[in-house]
Structure 1
Amino acid sequence: MGAFINMAGFATTTAIRLIAASEGWAPGEVSILVIDAGVAAGFFWLGISTIRFWPIWAAGFAVADLFMSIFGALLPRVPLFAYHTGLGIYAYLALGALALGTFRLPANAEPYIRNGSRRLWVQHLKETN
């Protein structure tokens, strides 16, 4: 699900920037802010519905990405290169959190841990008690 959130955000942002090439690169562009807010909300939802740690980190990086966009619009003297470099850094950090969370899972993990669902974890706790 986390990879889907990343890919959906990437694809939607790329489509918006190709359609409106003159406006999609400006700091604080409303359509890009809405996409970034959706990505942050998606990772937040994933963070509260799973037992994994990485969605919380990815949500934090997505929120930092939102702040980068907002402050890029509020501070017009920020060079466009610095703005886009900052956005890229936070995107790669979110992907890094996804990779770390994926590789950290042991191969012989129990099914409820492998699934990662908080609901299955609570069900397992009820069954064992």
Structure 2
Amino acid sequence: MIQLQQTLVISPYLDLYNLVIPRDNMLRQINELVDFSFVYEELKQNYCLDNGRNAIDPIRMFKYLLLKAIFELSDADIVERSKYDMSFKYFLDMAPEEQVIDSSSLTKFRKLRLKDMNLLDLLINKTVEIA
């Protein structure tokens, strides 16, 4: 399973999120209300589990695209903002000091994993439905 490839992020700075991101923050609420594990199920046929290096977590990649849709930003802008916007990092399940992806990874994710753009719409609609 693709989620077995993921690593647990342990950081001494995770408590910062509770200090700087208010409880009523939209991204905090989405993150707490929605179980994004459905992304694994929807995308599992688009990943090879026994060949090549580990993939960037599909949930994180999907969340980048969700942020892009919510805030109407370009790939480069969404990645740039995720470098310093703590609510973005929290939403992406990143440690505050963790490095962000390269914006070209979003293009590759869309082309290789979301071959059918209706799948992105399906995933976004499912997220809204769950929330």
- Please give the TM-score of this superposition, normalised by the length of structure 2: 0.27
Task: Give 1 or 2: higher helix fraction.
Answer: 1
- Please give the TM-score of this superposition, normalised by the length of structure 1: 0.28
Which of the two has higher C-alpha Rg? 1
Higher relative contact order (CA 8 A, sep 6+): 2
